[in-house]
Structure 1
Amino acid sequence: MNIDWAALGQVFGVSLVATVALVGVFTLGIVGSSARKADGGSTALARTGAYICYALCAMAVAYGIYIIAT
């Protein structure tokens, strides 16, 4: 059995970068959805950005499931 260490390293690197990016985008969504004005209301721009971040996360997960299933 021969292990292609270069390919294994590439898979590890891409997986690490994708995981950190996905967690970062989800964190931005949490921060955006918890943003509040001084008077207690939420800011529309922050909430819209949060929804976009959540949508990106959902698309990434759906794409991953698609890759695995096909």
Structure 2
Amino acid sequence: EVLEQALEKRPNDIHICRTLLTLYRRLGRQGEGAAFLRSVAGRNPGVQKLWGMARKLERETCPAGREE
């Protein structure tokens, strides 16, 4: 609920979140993808916040063990 309200106020954030998740999935959840996104998020608090929102969105919309 809180996540949805936050994204309604900033609609571009949902696109950024989806892009981050797509990169993460394509580059590999454990290997290069995770390392790349951690390094980017570590240097940029805005990306770090969006990455946290993206992960929360993924957990809410895609139950564990199931791909979209």
Query: Normalization by structure 1: what TM-score?
Result: 0.35
TM-score for both structures, normalised by structure 2:
0.36
